[in-house]
Amino acid sequence: MLSWMCCIHVQVLFNYLIRDHDAKVFNPPSSVKPNAADQVVDFALGGFRRWDAVYFLHIAEHGYTYENTLAFFPLFPLIIRGVANSSLCLLQYCMSYASVLLLSAALVNIVFFVLSAMTLYELGRIILGSDALAYRAAQFYCINPASIFFSAAYSESCYVLLTFRGMLLLERGHWISSAIFFALSGAARSNGLVNIGFLLHRAIYDVVALLHVRAKNGISLSEFGLNICRISALLVLCVVPFAAFQYRAYTVYCNRFASYQDLPEHIRQYGIEMGYRMPYMGPSVWCSSSFPLSYSYIQSSHWNVGFLNYYEWKQIPNFLLATPMATLCVVMIVSYLWKHGSYCIYAGFIPRGDAEHVTEDEWDDGLPRTCFVYVVHTAFLLVFGILCMHVQVVITSSSYFIS
C-alpha cells in the first residue's frame, strides 16, 4: 500500500509539471465546448493526456484519421472506448466524450497495473523460487519512476499485463492460452512480436528434451511432427493481430475511393493545417512497396526511428536520463553471463536439473539460470532501444527490463 501511495504522489506531481509541456505537438481540437465537469476532469487528470496519450485518446474517439496515428496499435483504444460506452456511458450526459474516454483510460490502466503487479508476483514465485524475492520484485515494479506511464493514457499497462500473463501461463505449461495473450500483446504494442521468442525457446527446449529422452528407444516421427505443427500454429497465431492491423491500415490508406466525408469537419481542417495525410488523399508512399507495412514507414518518416538516427548532440540529455536504467540492465546481464556462461553457450537447451528449485542463498551470486530467456529478452530490448529507437524508450519501458 505504501508503494502504491508513493506512485500516486509522484503521478500527481507529474500531472502538474507536464501540463503545458506539449502545447505545440499533436493536439487535435474538440468540437464540443468544455463545461464545468470537463474542467474538473482536466484539472484532475489533464496531465495524463499528454504526448502519446493524445494519440490513443484521439484514436479511441475518432479512429485512425491521420496516417501518423497508425504508429499506435488498436487494442488499448478499443478497450477504453468499450468501457466508456458501457460502464461509463451515463457520464456522457454530463461531460464530453473526450473526458469520459480520459476517465476510462485512467480507470482501465489502474486496474491493469494492479493485475500486472499480481501477475508478476506469481511469475516471480516460479522463476525465482522464493515468495519473498517475488514480492520484492513486484514492489520494485510498482515504485519504479516509469510507473507514471501506467496511469497515463498509454498502452503500457495493457501490454505489460498481457505479456506477464503470457509468460506465467507458459511457465505453467498452458501453451495455447500463453500464445493468445502474446498475440493480444502484439495488438497493444509492436514489440509484442518479440514475445514470440518465449514460445519459440520453450518449444526448442521441449524438442531437445524429447530427443534426449527418446534417444535410446528411437523417436516417433509422428510425435515429432505433431510438436512442430503445434508450435508453428501458435507462432502464426501470435502474428495474426499485428498482420490484421497492417492489413486494415492498407485498406484505409491505400484505398483510392476513400472520402473526406468520413471525417468530422474540425478533424479534417486540423489535418490540413498540420499537413497530415488523411485517407481521402490517395494511396500513401508505402502502399506501393513490395511489402507494404505502414508501421515501419511511419516510424522512420514521422519519428526518425532507425539505426543510430537518434544519435545527435541535442539528444545527450535524453541519453543521460536513460543511463541509470541501461546501466542496471547491463550489470544484470553481465553478472548472469559470468555465473552461467556454460549454460548460455547452449542457449539454455540443456536439462535444468536443480535449477528448477532455487533457494535464496543462490541469489548471493546473482540470478538463477532459470532466468535465461528473460535475460535474453532484456538484452535484446535494451540493445534495440538504444541503437534503433528513441532512447526514451529505455525509460518508459523500464518495466519490461525489470520483468
Q: Are residues 109 and 192 in the same domain?
A: yes
Considering the domain architecture, whether residues 213 and 344 belong to the same structural domain is answered as no
* Better-predicted residue by pLDDT, 391 or 183: 183
Q: Per residue in 120-144, pLDDT tens?
A: 999 999 988 888 888 998 998 888 7
> What confidence score (pLDDT) does residue 397 get?
61
**320 & 177 share domain:** no
Q: Based on the structure, what is the number of domains in the chain?
A: 2
Give the residue-averaged pLDDT of 290-306: 83
Task: Say what the pLDDT of residue 81 is.
Answer: 95
Assess whether pLDDT exceeds 50 at residue 87: yes
Same domain, 64 and 173: yes
220 and 138 belong to one structural domain: yes
Q: Is 255 within a domain?
A: no
Above 90 in pLDDT, residue 103? yes
Confidence of residue 18 (pLDDT cuts 50, 70, 90): very low
The answer to whether position 209 is within a domain reads yes
Contact predicate 390/303, CB 8 Å = yes
Mean pLDDT of 36-52: 87
- For residue 19, pLDDT beyond 80: no
Is the pLDDT at 390 greater than 80, yes or no? Answer: no
pLDDT exceeds cutoff 80 at 379? yes
> At CB < 8 A and 24+ separation, what contacts does 57-62 make?
57/98, 57/101, 57/102, 57/105, 57/153, 58/26, 58/28, 60/84, 60/101, 60/105, 61/97, 61/98, 61/101, 62/28, 62/263, 62/264, 62/267
How does pLDDT run across 179-203, given as a tens digit for each residue?
A: 999 999 999 998 889 999 998 888 8
Rounded to the nearest 10 degrees, what angle do helices 175-188 and 196-214 cross at?
160
**Biggest alpha carbon distance in the chain?**
77
Assess if residue 172 is contained within a domain: yes
Q: How confident is the model over 2-19, as a mean pLDDT? A: 42
pLDDT in tens, 224-238: 677 778 888 888 899
261: in domain: no
Q: Average pLDDT, stretch 73-77?
A: 95
Q: Which domain-ending residue is among 250, 265, 295?
A: 250
- Final residue of a structural domain among 233, 250, 267: 250
Please report whether residue 54 resides in a domain. yes
d(CA 202, CA 213): 16
Tell whether the model's pLDDT for residue 14 goes beyond 50.
Answer: no
Asked if 347 and 208 sit in the same domain, the reply is: no
pLDDT average, residue stretch 145-158: 85
3-state helix, strand, coil in the chain (%, to 5): 75, 0, 25
With a cut of 90, say whether residue 166 has pLDDT above it.
Answer: yes
> Both 244 and 309 in a single domain?
no
Q: Residues 339-363: pLDDT tens digits? A: 888 778 877 776 554 444 444 444 4
Check pLDDT > 80 for residue 12.
no
Segment 87-96 shows an average pLDDT of 90
Q: Are residues 126 and 246 in the same domain?
A: yes
Q: What percent of the chain has pLDDT over 90?
A: 28
Domain for residue 246, yes or no? yes
Residues 379, 73, 180, 395: is their CA dihedral positive or negative? positive
Q: Which letter does DSSP use for residue 34 in this model?
A: -
Q: Please indicate, yes or no, if residue 290 is contained in any of the structural domains.
A: no
Residues 334 and 231 in one domain: no
What average pLDDT does this structure show over 77-96? 92
Does 173 fall in a domain?
Answer: yes
Contact 185, 195 (CB under 8 A): yes
Name the residue range of residue 131's domain. Answer: 36-250
CA dihedral defined by 162, 163, 169, 170, rounded to 10 degrees?
Answer: 150
Segment among 74-88, 176-190, 372-386 with least mean pLDDT:
372-386
Give CA–CA dist 286/297, Å, rounded. Answer: 6
pLDDT digits (tens, 9 = 90+) for 270-290: 998 988 888 888 888 888 888
User: Is there a single domain that holds both residue 234 and residue 88?
Assistant: yes
Same domain, yes or no: 207 and 348: no
Question: Which among 63, 294, 75 has a CA at the least distance from the CA of 181?
Answer: 75
Q: Given 204, 234, 250, which residue is the final one in a domain? A: 250
Average pLDDT, the chain: 81
Statement to judge: residues 246 and 308 lie in one domain: no
